[in-house]
Structure 1
Amino acid sequence: MKRQLFARMALMLALPLFAAGCIIDDPEPGPNLSGDWTEPEEPAGPETFITVDGDFSDWDAIPADELVTATVPDDAFYSAGRRLKVYAGATYINIYLEYSEAEQPVQIMHLYLDSDMAFDGEGRPTTGMGNAAWTNDGADILFEGMVVDDAGAPAAYDPTIFNWTGENLSGGWDWTELLAAGSGVCSASKPVELENGRKAVEVVVVRSSIPNLGSRFRVGIGLQYDWNDIAYIPAGSAVEENGVVGHGAVENMLVGR
């Protein structure tokens, strides 16, 4: 395995309420992962709260101009990822992920965040990982956890959190652990089977746990089975280069205004 999910750490939140998907009326800030950060901007306007319980009807209450959606084309190289929706309020970042297990089960979810939005004058990222899955990735925060365990049973998505410490935009896997699995800053519903035969989960992240997160940030998700890539979302149509068909990279998702 690339990473092991380690021992639990305490969190300055009411964990039983958070794990159950309940709304915390007056939440305290999550743990400061960096130890040194500037106060982030907060989104304007009232927040729509999503209960993480596998009932997706409450997503209908989110204003259309605050919801970002990516749909994977049918001719994408990886067939597992199908749809991704992201809504970021002042307190939580909410994610709806829809996927197919027609070919392989989904075990592991990687959530990539470009939290500092450091770009040059032409919109290209200058810091972070530089994942080739997206044309403009500069992810500096990674959430890595299990959607289901090795036996196929639903797992509480309470992932290990890393920050990028490698050479900027170099790719590779130079991530350093910031917070061990079980911290409680992230939680997910169990996978729900949809009428179309796909599955879906919803995920919530405590916004204040991400250092330097401004009102706008970029998001991408990678899915794996047995630590092998089976999806990137967003994604484009498959591309052919030198006779080899591969993943079609597109821009990752821009969230916030």
Structure 2
Amino acid sequence: MKKVFVLMAFAALALIACKPTNTDDPNNPGGDDPKVEEYVQPITCDGKFDDWAKLDASKVYTAKNVEGSKHDALKLVKVYADKAFIFVYFEWDTEQIEWELDVEHVPFHIYLNADGKADTGGFGDQWSDACTEACFEGFLTNGTDIDSYDPGVYQWVGEANGSGWEWSDPAVLDAGSGICSGAGVNGKYELQIVRELYPLGTIADEFSIGFDIQQSWDTVGYLPNGEVTDDNPSGNVPSLKVVTVK
């Protein structure tokens, strides 16, 4: 009886081994094990900036300082987002930004509308859509030398679509968490935001973003911006819309 059982077991194994590949599976027509595409980081934030020229320009979102704007120290910003990171490149006017030894008095802010919704968040002081839910606050220098950007993250706690400096205290994510890192030279910088470290949920595939740079804690440049006119005395425009590359 035992011998019969063993023979039956071998026969079953042989049947499984000889089972033909299911080539009718629409998700795997060849019948082979599906290959997992390896992620290749498109930009290395090393302060050399050459990676940006290799990107599909149609998927890089850009804001430039508009002539006649209220604050013009921030000249250019580019944003590229994929499933793992949000990459940012920006330039500033070195004549308007001064560094002092051992003084971190030139903060750089990222304002993120992570859910992409128009009816949440706030901070209409610099963008007309007033939908920022998180403010990243950090520094580009350790006093005189350009350093890695590693900010704290603060949540909007004011009224929906409101204005004012209404951010959580303490931060929802302390500086030094590693959510951002970057490198650059005086006047040019690139950084990355690690999406999975964002503390307020998932960053949507379509989101919006804004940036400012300050001198002695006063804003001297922000992007996107607009021309100051009689119809738009603030010079504010909507934040920059970005679509994630998949």
> Normalising TM by the smaller chain, what interval?
0.7 to 0.9
Distance 1:101 1:247 in 2: 24
Paired residue for 1:43? none
**1:250 is matched by which residue type in structure 2?**
V
Paired residue for 2:235? 248
Deviations 1:94-136 (A, max 9, x none): 0001110223337211100001122xxxxxx211023231111
Identity value in percent: 30
Shift of 1:172: 1.6
**1:251 is matched by which residue type in structure 2?**
P
Alpha-carbon RMSD across the aligned residues, in angstroms, is 2.1
Q: What is the TM-score of this pair, normalised by structure 1?
A: 0.71
Q: Which of 227, 231, 240 pairs up with 2:217?
A: 227
Paired residue for 1:188? 182
Note if contact 1:129-1:139 (Cα within 8 Å) is conserved in structure 2.
Answer: yes
Structure-2 change in CA distance of 1:47 and 1:65 (3 Å)? farther
Shift of 1:225: 0.8
Aligned ranges 1:141-220 → 2 under 5 Å: 141-149=134-142, 151-176=143-168, 177-190=171-184, 192-193=185-186, 199-210=187-198, 211-220=201-210
Matched length: 197
Aligned ranges 1:1-257 → 2 under 5 Å: 49-105=42-98, 107-118=106-117, 125-149=118-142, 151-176=143-168, 177-190=171-184, 192-193=185-186, 199-210=187-198, 211-240=201-230, 247-256=234-243
Note if contact 1:78-1:247 (Cα within 8 Å) is conserved in structure 2.
Answer: no
Larger helix proportion of the pair:
2
Shift of 1:188: 1.3
Shift of 1:158: 0.4
Note if contact 2:124-2:163 (Cα within 8 Å) is conserved in structure 1.
Answer: yes
Distance 1:70 1:228 in 2: 21
Distance 2:130 2:190 in 1: 23
**2:172 is matched by which residue type in structure 1?**
L
Structure 2 stretches of 5 or more lacking a match?
Answer: 1-38, 100-105
**2:180 is matched by which residue type in structure 1?**
C
**1:126 is matched by which residue type in structure 2?**
D
Query: SS state of the match for residue 172, structure 2?
Result: strand
Q: Which has the larger radius of gyration?
A: 2
Structure-2 change in CA distance of 1:58 and 1:249 (3 Å)? same
Moved over 2 A (4+): 103-106, 151-156, 238-241
**2:202 is matched by which residue type in structure 1?**
N
Deviations 1:187-237 (A, max 9, x none): 1103x24xxxxx110010101122221100000001101110101111112
Structure 1 stretches of 5 or more lacking a match?
Answer: 1-45, 119-124, 194-198
